[in-house]
C-alpha cells in the first residue's frame, strides 16, 4: 500500500508538475537537485496551465486513471488563494502595509472545449488580482480514481482508490522562491467489480474451512484443559 501510494505520487508529479524530472524521485544526501520552485510570475501561471492540461488529458496517462464522477467526465479543479489581508511592500523606501490575517478565496477552473486553458486570463476575468507580496500560498485541487490490479491474487480482489491531489504553491517565506509541491492523499473505496471472483473462489473456501476447523479444535482443547484444571482443583 505504501509503495503503491508513493509510485502514484511520482506518476502524478510527472503528469502535473512543471519542471519535474526523475532526479527528484530518489531520496539522497546531498540531494541530486534543488527544491522544485518557481521564481517568475509567468512561471506561476505556466505551472497552473501545465497542471490543468495534464488533468484534462488524463486519458493520455499510462496509469488507469479516471475522473471523480460516475460518467468519467472531467471535474473542475478547485483553485484557492491564501492571501494576507493586506500586504504591500515598498522596498525602495523601506515601507510597507501589512495585516497578518489570512483570507481564503477559491474558484473552479473551467474552460471552453474549443480553447486552450489560460490561467492568467481566467483568474483575471474571475475578478482575482494576485499580488505575490501578499500571497501566502495557492492550491490547485482535484481527485483521481484508480484500481490496483497488482494487489489481486487467488483469494483477494483488486483494490480501488481515490487520490485527492493538491498542487501547492508555497510562498510563506517570501524569499523570491515559491516552492512547488504535490501531495496525494489516498482513500480506499469499495470496488464494484465481479464479486463472484471472491465468493466463488475454491481456494478461498478451502482456506476459510481450514481456519474454522483450527479455531474449533483450539477452542475445544482449551475447554478440556480448563475443565481438567477445575476438576483437579476440587
Distance in angstroms between the alpha carbons of the first and the last residue of the chain: 54
CA nearest to 176, candidates 39, 81, 41: 39
Q: Are residues 18 and 104 in the same domain?
A: yes
Grid cell in block for residue 168:
501547492
Give this prediction's pTM: 0.76
Q: Are residues 205 and 183 in the same domain?
A: no
Q: Are residues 217 and 161 in the same domain?
A: no
pLDDT, position 8: 92
Q: Are residues 37 and 11 in the same domain?
A: yes
How many domains are there within the chain? 2
Tell me the CA distances in angstroms from 104 to 128, 135, 136, 139, one per residue in order: 12, 10, 10, 11
Q: Are residues 211 and 164 in the same domain?
A: no
Q: According to DSSP H, which parts of the chain are helical?
A: 2-16, 41-56, 119-125, 196-199, 202-233
Q: What range does the domain containing 184 cover?
A: 2-194
Residue 16 has pLDDT above 70, yes or no: yes
β-strand 95-108 against 159-170: which pairing, if any?
unpaired
Residue 195 has pLDDT above 70, yes or no: no
Integer Cα distance of 122 and 53 in angstroms: 14
Q: Are residues 186 and 220 in the same domain?
A: no
The dihedral formed by the CA atoms of 152, 58, 167 and 177, expressed in degrees to the nearest 10: 130
Ramachandran assignment for 75, one of left (phi > 0), alpha (psi -120 to 50 degrees), beta (any other): beta
Bridge partners of 138, per DSSP, are 81, 169
117-150: pLDDT as tens digits: 899 999 999 888 888 888 999 999 999 999 887 6
Amino acid at each position: 500500500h505504501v509503495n503503491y501510494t508513493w509510485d502514484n505520487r511520482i506518476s502524478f508529479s510527472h503528469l502535473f508538475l512543471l519542471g519535474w524530472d526523475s532526479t527528484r524521485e530518489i531520496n539522497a544526501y546531498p540531494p541530486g537537485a534543488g527544491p522544485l520552485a518557481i521564481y517568475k510570475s509567468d512561471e506561476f501561471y505556466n505551472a497552473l496551465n501545465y497542471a490543468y492540461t495534464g488533468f484534462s488529458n488524463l486519458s493520455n496517462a499510462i496509469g488507469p486513471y479516471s475522473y471523480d464522477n460516475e460518467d468519467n467526465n472531467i471535474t473542475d479543479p478547485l483553485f484557492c488563494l491564501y492571501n494576507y489581508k493586506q500586504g504591500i511592500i515598498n522596498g525602495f523606501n523601506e515601507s510597507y502595509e501589512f495585516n497578518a490575517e489570512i483570507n481564503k478565496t477559491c474558484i473552479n477552473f473551467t474552460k471552453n472545449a474549443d480553447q486552450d486553458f489560460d490561467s492568467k486570463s481566467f483568474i483575471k476575468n474571475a475578478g482575482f488580482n494576485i499580488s505575490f507580496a501578499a500571497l501566502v500560498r495557492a492550491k490547485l485541487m482535484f481527485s483521481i480514481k484508480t484500481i490496483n490490479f497488482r494487489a489481486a491474487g487467488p483469494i483477494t480482489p483488486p483494490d480501488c482508490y481515490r487520490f485527492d491531489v493538491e498542487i501547492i504553491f508555497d510562498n510563506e517565506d517570501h524569499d523570491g522562491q515559491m516552492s512547488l509541491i504535490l501531495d496525494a492523499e489516498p482513500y480506499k473505496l469499495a470496488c464494484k467489480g465481479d464479486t463472484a471472483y471472491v465468493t466463488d473462489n475454491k481456494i478461498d473456501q478451502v482456506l476459510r474451512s481450514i481456519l474454522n476447523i483450527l479455531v474449533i479444535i483450539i477452542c475445544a482443547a482449551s475447554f478440556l484443559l480448563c475443565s481438567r484444571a477445575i476438576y483437579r482443583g476440587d
